[in-house]
Structure 1
């Protein structure tokens, strides 16, 4: 069932206007989505969570309801989500998916959170995630072939099986992804710069749920497990029948999983 929703805007410290779609009622849950995604991709999950929590699905900078800054930096992403958390309230829980999971980790290191949910943050634990493929991605963007760029990114960054860029034109929802494709390479550069230092995560005190889909690429699964072991109060849940996007393919089941964990820890 579709739920009533509205949009709020906050101003990040660098002056960028960040939008968040608000759905539901109850304790606030802020979503920090991944690359080549927008808040709109989380509507099914937000609807499923709406009876229990107020979901703030932020559009990260450069897409959706959000503006973009003149100069990109990973720190700006962290500040954006902190600004949304400030509006949501001091008891807000944070959920970060993929690249948004790296942002969420950085937020959790910068401020206390009542609870944290992570879904396959792609930390470069076994070497660069983008590496030399970023140049080929940027070349495709420069010549205006956003679909070919997405095909390169899907294969080289995420490590899904290679598909032809022209075939992505026929996939529902990829027109929106193609429109924001130029943002991906800067996020992959930030991912590679995030580093492989696991010791820092020992400072995270929030009860943490690490989620991984067993149909995801092996490096995302193993990396999620390694990060999970580095966070003192972390629980790992493996979803057997989903990959990197259970929030979209199985939104109700994923919402039940998240809500159960948060309720157990008094955060829902």
Structure 2
């Protein structure tokens, strides 16, 4: 993939918000939905590995990157954003979501089944990621005080159950400052997860071929959740990413791209 292969465009969502989309490559269309505290740019190296085989549409979710936001947040609006990008990509588009992007993609597929789905550790089962209201209240208080640094640290502890050594290492990395800028979006996403009853969701309605990905070293609740989700789908396979955790897009983009392509090659043309 070269820079000349990419173009930036915008789609208009149902509520009028302009959503940024970077389109790269050639071949079967794929729509990629990033997770919390990230943007489309974090997936560039995965896109590089797909671009000779697929036309990848990577959106910046609302409130991230170049996409607009709204005064009031609604997860339904986010799903409409993804739907708008799917319409741009075409009817045979594959939908790929990571983490909270996997939550958006999987819950959207309950109503509008895409040609196929790829979901990397979507936070459906068990409800371990969901933050309690006390933690969310403290988090929102830190945001109100402008203490994004401590808010992000609290979120790592309370929302994703990260160990202190992992938080400390992350805090000393250049990525920490970048992530703090997105801290205000995290509480609304946690509340969206709180409001979704994954135990009663009719996931058997997702009848399209589905690939569920999980990292070998991801937290136990994410690994178990991915397996539980895969087991209730009518047509799904589970693939472990060896040596990886929740962020293979950053740590092993070539491996992640290869597993995506391996799955796509099994699909009807």
Shorter-normalised TM range:
over 0.9
After the TM superposition, which residues 1-268 of structure 1 pair with which residues of structure 2 at under 5 Å, given as runs? 2-4=2-4, 5-123=6-124, 125-126=126-127, 129-131=130-132, 132-162=134-164, 170-198=172-200, 200-266=202-268
Unaligned runs of 5+ in 2: none
The whole-number CA distance in structure 1 between the counterparts of 2:226 and 2:10 is 32
CA contact (8 A) 1:59 1:65 kept: yes
Is the alpha carbon distance of 1:163 and 1:133 closer, same or farther for their aligned partners in structure 2, counting shifts above 3 Å? farther
Is the alpha carbon distance of 1:221 and 1:167 closer, same or farther for their aligned partners in structure 2, counting shifts above 3 Å? closer
Q: Alignment RMSD, CA only?
A: 1.8
The whole-number CA distance in structure 2 between the counterparts of 1:46 and 1:199 is 31
Deviations 1:53-94 (A, max 9, x none): 011111100010100012111111110000000011111110
CA contact (8 A) 1:198 1:230 kept: no
Deviations 1:105-124 (A, max 9, x none): 12211113111000001125
The whole-number CA distance in structure 1 between the counterparts of 2:127 and 2:180 is 28
The whole-number CA distance in structure 1 between the counterparts of 2:123 and 2:224 is 10
The whole-number CA distance in structure 1 between the counterparts of 2:116 and 2:102 is 13
CA contact (8 A) 1:147 1:168 kept: no
Alignment TM-score, normalising by the size of structure 2: 0.94
CA contact (8 A) 1:148 1:166 kept: no
Alignment TM-score, normalising by the size of structure 1: 0.94
Unaligned runs of 5+ in 1: none
Is the alpha carbon distance of 1:17 and 1:115 closer, same or farther for their aligned partners in structure 2, counting shifts above 3 Å? same
Deviation, structure 1 residue 46: 0.5
Runs (4 or more) in structure 1 with deviation over 2 Å come to: 1-4, 124-128, 162-170, 173-176, 196-199
Is the alpha carbon distance of 1:148 and 1:222 closer, same or farther for their aligned partners in structure 2, counting shifts above 3 Å? same
CA contact (8 A) 1:96 1:117 kept: yes
Deviations 1:166-220 (A, max 9, x none): 8755412222211111000000100111113355000111100000002111111
Query: Which moved further from structure 2: 120-129 or 99-108?
Result: 120-129
**In the comparison of the two structures, how many residue pairs are matched?**
267
SS of equivalent to 1:110: coil
CA contact (8 A) 1:10 1:84 kept: yes
